[in-house]
Chain A
Amino acid sequence: MADHHHPQTLAPVEARIAAIEAVLVEKGILDVDAVDQVVQHFEDNLGPMNGAKVVARAWTDPQYKDRLLEDGTAAIAELGFGGPEGEYVVVLENTPEVHNLVVCTLCSCYPWPILGLPPKWYKAPAYRSRAVREPRKLLAEMGSAIPDDVEIRVWDSSAEARYLVLPMRPGGTEDLSEQELAGVVTRDSMIGVQRL
């Protein structure tokens, strides 16, 4: 904005959101209470607990796993999950030979219905800049050293697809129920920054 008469003091961010919010409310554009329910829905119902159910089902039902890898969006919808930022989901299977890692270098693309809103570090420059250039070093720093003979496949969510990593089922979980298995699955393992 080519203005030459700005006030010299930067308004705090709290004052800035209050300013634009007041404009929108006064003009009848923003119905705070109605949209609040949407945000509340995000807080209550979106999150990695949904993705964990998808992974646990894939670990216990081979046919479901096949469908999940074939058409992630449809298989995820079978469990009742979908919506904005989940319109087209591609599922990436980790194997003893391949480890998958998801990033969005340009912004913050992330599969909201199954993982929730992205964590801060996923949106921050360090992760976005390094994941595509030195993923092996990055993963080791984050506590998941990947053996040298395992190929790392990085996926930059730069267009329509949103990605979900299907982690390998950890050993020693043979006796767990599907529900108990969901408790083993972490958000980070479904982004690919953690090996279970």
Chain B
Amino acid sequence: MSANRPPHRLNPMSPDRGNWAESAVETSYDPAVDGVHDLGGLDGFGPVEHAAGEPMFDADWERRTLRMVLGSIHLVGGAGGRFRHSIERMDPGHYLSSPYYEHWLTGVTTLLVEAGVTTQQELDRRAGGHFPLSQPDRGVLPDDRTSRTTPRYAVGDVVRVRERHPPGHTRAPRYVQGKQGTIIRVDAAANIDDIQAHGGGEVADPLYSVRFTSRELWGEAGTDGDVVHVDLFERYLQEA
């Protein structure tokens, strides 16, 4: 928690979370270490509201948002971890109560403000009301930013996902951290998002598809025989 901001009083899971916007006007909320975007395994969201087909956009503002993002994202680091984390930094109540393209609008506009393209005040003035932005970036770069391209693990190796719960961006979902799995595919090394997202540039890291049993992930709530695969960078893994 940063010291110069008021304590949060917005609980995203509280029954009155519909008032997030009103609360967010007056308060700031530090995103939890494990962001609300990290949804795998959470309970209580109900049935999937499925439609066999649907228009690409529900409303014109969604199309305009995609257009705005495509036309400006090159200014703020492209469509990688930095963009994703700008969304993950949204107030959790705002994140859960807003449609997907509003996430893009909020995230990219936050990055544009941080890049000095515009200001909160100018946006509020032009919009004729409050324009909610994401919370500050709290990510910490690792000291070791050495690129690695030679994989340490091979197909069949048993690994355990490190329990890191970093304050910034990661592509290691919470539900596999600390869990044991088996390497089933070795991909080409790729730029690890955790570092790129926080300004550390392009650092390559070996990448794997790791298979977890349902029982390993969910214990008594799991099922026999079913498996979940997650694509994980080598920096997330340790020997089991």
- The number of inter-chain residue pairs (CB within 8 angstroms) is 246
Give Cα distance in the complex from A158 to B70, angstroms: 22
B136 CB contacts on chain A under 8 angstroms: 1-2
Q: List residues 57-90 of chain B with CB under 8 A from any CB of chain A.
A: 58-61, 63-68, 70-72, 75, 79, 84, 87
Map CB proximity to A onto B200-237 as digits: 1 under 8 Å, 0 otherwise: 00000001010000000110010101111111110000
Q: Beyond A14-B61, A126-B46, A156-B173, is A187–B53 a contact (Cβ under 8 Å)?
A: yes
B-side interface size class: 35 or more
Q: Beyond A10-B21, A23-B118, A24-B68, is A161–B129 a contact (Cβ under 8 Å)?
A: no
13 A-B pairs whose Cβ atoms sit less than 8 Å apart in the complex: A1-B113, A18-B64, A19-B131, A105-B39, A120-B51, A126-B49, A129-B40, A129-B42, A134-B221, A156-B228, A157-B231, A158-B231, A159-B187
**Which A-chain residue is minimally distant from B64 (CB atoms)?**
A17
Are B40 and A142 touching (Cβ within 8 A)? no
Cβ contact of A36, chosen from B67, B126, B193, B223, cutoff 8 A = B67
Cβ contact of B173, chosen from A17, A42, A105, cutoff 8 A = A105
Cβ contact of B54, chosen from A21, A120, A155, A159, cutoff 8 A = A120
Cβ contact of A12, chosen from B26, B64, B66, B129, cutoff 8 A = B129
Q: Beyond A1-B28, A105-B40, is A35–B67 a contact (Cβ under 8 Å)?
A: yes
Residue among A9, A88, A153, A158 with the highest chain B CB neighbour number at 10 A: A158
A84 CB contacts on chain B under 8 angstroms: 79
| B-binding segment of A26-34, A56-64, A74-82, A174-182 | A26-34
**Which A-chain residue is minimally distant from B112 (CB atoms)?**
A20
A-side interface size class: 35 or more
Q: A11-B129, A35-B67 are in contact. List 5 more A-B contacts (CB 8 A).
A: A106-B40, A130-B48, A132-B228, A133-B218, A154-B226
A152 CB contacts on chain B under 8 angstroms: 223, 225-227
Cβ contact of A11, chosen from B22, B63, B79, B131, cutoff 8 A = B131
Cβ contact of A128, chosen from B39, B50, B105, B188, cutoff 8 A = B39
Are A15 and B187 touching (Cβ within 8 A)? no
Are B39 and A30 touching (Cβ within 8 A)? no
